[in-house]
Amino acid sequence: MPEDGGPVWKVGELARRTGLTVRTLHHYEQVGLLRPAARTAAGHRLYGAADVRRLYQVVALRELGLPLDVIGILLAGEADIAERLAEHLALVEQRLVRLRSLRSRLAALVATAESTGSTAPADLLGLIEEVVRMQDVINNYFSEEQLALLEERRRALGEDAIAAAEAEWPELIAKVQAEMDAGTDPADPRVRALAGRWMGLLEAFHGGDDGLRESLFTMYAENSEQINRDSGGPSPDMIAYISRANAAD
């Protein structure tokens, strides 16, 4: 189809009409995505109507985030478009999960930095290291699906509920510590009430999902000291104390 009769566009015109740059059109030709139907004697590119149609398809697929080589394959009819879109969607979902996770860490860090006023650079760096190391540990113990599930639950619960639950932990830990220091019997009703709150908070985290609970316990078992040191988590002794309180029924 050498486009003998129809309208033709030079590269600059086409660029203006599509909002692309001339360089982009050059590039698309270079990678074989869009070859102009013809050239003038002087070598100037001449695009025909079919080229323009194809270019709009290229742009549309590009705006969906597909890489140029895939676009080439799709437009050549050498792959199933719906299938590739589904694959791409999965990839985008994955990126979203990661990006959301990253945002929550960044937001927490920024909030901490703001609330503590002008934190000394060294302190802030240390805090950043802790947060990131913690995340690495978490990523080691929870699968991608589990993390996505947790994200889901967090969204369902809402930010405030999450913040409230997280704020409850240090308070609860302090109270349990007080009872331990006082030598209270784990079977004492007061301690058993605290243990009940404890299990409630845990439940709020894993939501009854055995896999999540299992992963959480494994992670704690193998990293108790770091969790204790970096995040103010409970000591193994305290875990044992709570277990005894729960067992006393």
Partner DNA sequence: GTTGCACCTGACGTAACGTGAGGTCCTAGC
Partner DNA sequence: GCTAGGACCTCACGTTACGTCAGGTGCAAC
The answer to whether 227 and 233 are in contact (CB under 8 A) is yes
Binding to DNA, residues 2-41 (CB under 7 A)? 10-13, 15, 21-24, 26-27, 40-41
Q: Which stretch binds a second copy (CB under 8 A): 40-48, 92-100, 169-177, 208-216?
A: 92-100
* DSSP designation for 76: T
Asked if 64 interacts with a second copy (CB under 8 A), we say yes
Closest CA to 233 of 245, 224, 246, 222: 224
88 binds, among DNA, a second copy, none (CB under 5 to 8 A by kind): a second copy
Residues 109 and 127 sit within 8 Å (Cβ to Cβ): yes
Residue 68 touching DNA (CB under 7 A) = yes
Residue 205 identity: F
For DNA, the closer CB: 27 or 175:
27
- Give the phi and the psi of residue 10 in degrees, each rounded to 5: -85, 165
Closest CA to 35 of 2, 74, 79, 5: 2
65: amino acid identity, one letter: G
Q: Which does 197 bind (CB under 5 to 8 A by kind): DNA, a second copy, none?
A: none
Given the complex with DNA, which of 81 and 248 has the nearer CB atom? 81
Cα–Cα distance between 1 and 36 in angstroms, integer? 11
Q: Is the distance from CB of 211 to CB of 142 less than 8 angstroms?
A: no
Question: How many Cα neighbours within 13 Å face the side chain of 47?
Answer: 24
Residue 167 C-beta: closest distance to a second copy, Å: 22
Which one of the spans 39-47, 114-122, 192-200, 233-241 is the region binding a second copy (CB under 8 A)? 114-122
66 in Cβ contact with 56 (< 8 Å): no
109 binds, among a second copy, DNA, none (CB under 5 to 8 A by kind): a second copy
User: Which residues, 44 to 63, sit near DNA by CB under 7 A?
Assistant: 44-45, 62
CA distance 72 to 78: 9
Q: Is 43 near DNA (CB under 7 A)?
A: yes
Binding site for DNA (CB under 7 A): 10-13, 15, 21-24, 26-27, 40-45, 62, 67-69
Binding site for a second copy (CB under 8 A): 56-57, 59-61, 63-65, 77, 81-82, 85-86, 88-89, 92-93, 95-96, 99-100, 102-103, 105-107, 109-110, 113-114, 118-119, 121, 124-125, 128-129, 131-133, 135-136, 155
